[in-house]
């Protein structure tokens, strides 16, 4: 459908991006694991939290400024790490980075970026954090960490929910692999560049992205052998991405993590987990004041950002909406995605009588009684809420 204006909300942007992107690339961005229950639930579960607004407060001046890891940020809204932004637009991660710099939130760069990490940081931009996967050849991960530290990244985000890639059925059907014109630039000139799949393109072995990932990832990674190793090679704060339980939050504290990201990888890894917004309260409670808690998964509205902040998140990250924006119009489109969410957050703040991020606490949401979504047999379409 053609619109007279730019998309005005994230679901408009999603529709437009779907019409533009090649179907295999769209499917890779869109897909969740297996029945995609968790992917859908991430978005739907926000509906179970209702707002508890306050009126007649002076909202003539509001600010979304906050501090994250002790540094000021203009907004708690940031960009989650996503592989291969050039699948959406030729300017890829550079376009996203410029958009993030203009918005002033944190950008987390994926290990699997299609732009070398040294080229991504924009002067005057937000804090940049580097996402890390750990390989059986630890020297490869170590090189990435050292390069990120010298390039100016301010934290290492260790993704802990992907010892292997989740089973995304549509990618399995497509036998999805990075297209020939793209390069996973962080791996060029490393030992990994010679491994199948890492040069991008149709590798000689015909392996899918998931197979390559599984063959190289370190499945023996644990709290005990991973975090101390990471601490021994970098002085940057370590953030564990993919924490869904109070138990793992306590382990992250014990091992000296500076933060955790409540995330189920956008429903792309283990299908059947809680929605991230439902998991957030237990993590926040276990974290106390020992580490910062961040959030991602299913955020499609500024009011979703508001709800996550109210339930204790210090920063809120989005992935697919930014990719849809990129597909729509490169840097302008990624900025549009962030601007839509940012202005909806500001609107929610004004309409609920909150002027500063610190004011947004649990008193602004009603916590739901457990309401699980039922799915029509054999589909991922929710039919009713109990
Ligand atoms: C296309 C795509 C690629 C992703 N690549 C990575 C990645 O390289 N590393 C990582 O830690 N998470 C990755 N993620 C997960 C996101 O960082 C994030 O946890 C999740 O997608 C957030 O949910 P949302 O897409 O609903 O905003 C990816 C997600 C998508 C959609
Ligand atoms: C093989 C690259 C993994 C990227 C990723 O984390 C994802 O697709 O979710």
* Confidence tier at 380 by pLDDT (50, 70, 90): low
Residue 234: its pLDDT value, please? 98
**Average pLDDT for 74-80:** 98
317 has which bridge partners?
A: 78, 296
Task: State the chain's mean pLDDT as an integer.
Answer: 93
Q: How far is the CA of 110 from the centre of ligand 1 (A)?
A: 9
**Tokens at 38, concatenated:** 């968790």
Instruction: Look up 85 and say whether it is catalytic.
Output: no
pLDDT tens readout for residues 177-190: 888 889 999 998 77
Check whether 151 has a pLDDT greater than 80: yes
- Helix 320-351, helix 92-103: angle, nearest 10: 10
Supply the pTM of this predicted model. 0.95
Q: How high is the ipTM of this complex?
A: 0.99
Decide whether any atom of ligand 1 lies within 6 Å of the 294 Cβ.
Answer: no
Check whether 385 has a pLDDT greater than 60: no
Q: Which residue has the tokens 């390039």?
A: 151
What are the structural domains of the chain? 10-366 (3.20.20.70)
pLDDT tens readout for residues 23-52: 999 999 999 999 999 999 999 999 999 999
Residue 204: its pLDDT value, please? 43
Q: Are 291 and 257 in contact (CB under 8 A)?
A: yes
Closest atom of ligand 1 to CA, residue 323: 1
Higher-confidence position of 376 and 22: 22
CA distance 176 to 153: 30
- Counting ligands in written order, the one closest to the CA of 159 is 1
Residue 202: its pLDDT value, please? 47
CA distance 259 to 261: 7
**Average pLDDT for 376-383:** 65
Q: How far is the CA of 302 from the centre of ligand 2 (A)?
A: 26
Residue 372: its pLDDT value, please? 58
- Give the CA radius of gyration of the chain: 20
Decide whether any atom of ligand 2 lies within 6 Å of the 268 Cβ.
Answer: yes
**Tokens at 120, concatenated:** 């991504």
**Tokens at 323, concatenated:** 């990719």
CA distance 349 to 333: 24
Q: How far is the CA of 57 from the centre of ligand 1 (A)?
A: 38
């Amino acid at each position: 459908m053609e619109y007279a204006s730019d998309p005005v909300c994230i679901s408009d942007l999603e529709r437009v991006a779907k019409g533009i992107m090649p179907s295999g690339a769209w499917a890779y961005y869109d897909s969740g694991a297996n029945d995609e229950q968790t992917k859908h639930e991430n978005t739907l579960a926000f509906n179970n939290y209702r707002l508890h607004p306050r009126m007649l407060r002076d909202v003539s001046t509001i600010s979304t400024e906050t501090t994250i890891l002790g540094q000021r940020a203009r907004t708690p809204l940031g960009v989650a790490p996503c592989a291969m932004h050039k699948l959406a637009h030729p300017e890829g991660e550079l376009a996203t980075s410029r958009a993030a710099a203009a918005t002033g939130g944190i950008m987390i760069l994926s290990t699997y970026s299609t732009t070398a990490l040294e080229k991504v940081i924009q002067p005057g931009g937000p804090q940049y954090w580097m996402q890390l996967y750990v390989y059986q050849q630890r020297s490869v991960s170590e090189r990435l960490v050292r390069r990120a530290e010298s390039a100016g990244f301010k934290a290492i985000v260790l993704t802990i929910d992907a010892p292997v890639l989740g089973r995304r059925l549509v990618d399995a059907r497509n036998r999805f692999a990075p297209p020939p014109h793209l390069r996973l630039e962080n791996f060029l000139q490393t030992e990994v560049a010679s491994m199948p799949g890492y040069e991008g393109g149709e590798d000689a072995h015909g392996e899918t992205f998931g197979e390559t990932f599984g063959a190289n990832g370190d499945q023996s990674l644990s709290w005990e052998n991973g975090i101390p190793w990471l601490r021994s090679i970098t002085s940057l704060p370590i953030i564990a991405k993919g924490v869904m339980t109070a138990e793992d939050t306590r382990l992250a504290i014990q091992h000296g993590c500076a933060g955790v990201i409540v995330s189920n990888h956008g429903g792309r890894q283990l299908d059947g987990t809680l929605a991230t917004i439902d998991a957030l309260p237990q993590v926040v409670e276990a974290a106390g004041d020992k580490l910062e808690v961040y959030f991602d998964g299913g955020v499609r509205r500024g009011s979703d950002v508001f709800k996550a902040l109210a339930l204790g998140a210090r920063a809120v990250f989005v992935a697919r909406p930014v990719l849809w924006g990129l597909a729509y119009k490169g840097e302008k489109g990624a900025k549009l995605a962030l601007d839509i969410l940012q202005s909806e957050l500001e609107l929610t703040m004004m309409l609920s009588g909150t002027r500063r991020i610190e004011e947004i606490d649990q008193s602004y949401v009603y916590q739901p009684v457990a309401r699980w979504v039922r799915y029509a047999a054999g589909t991922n379409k929710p039919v009713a809420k109990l």
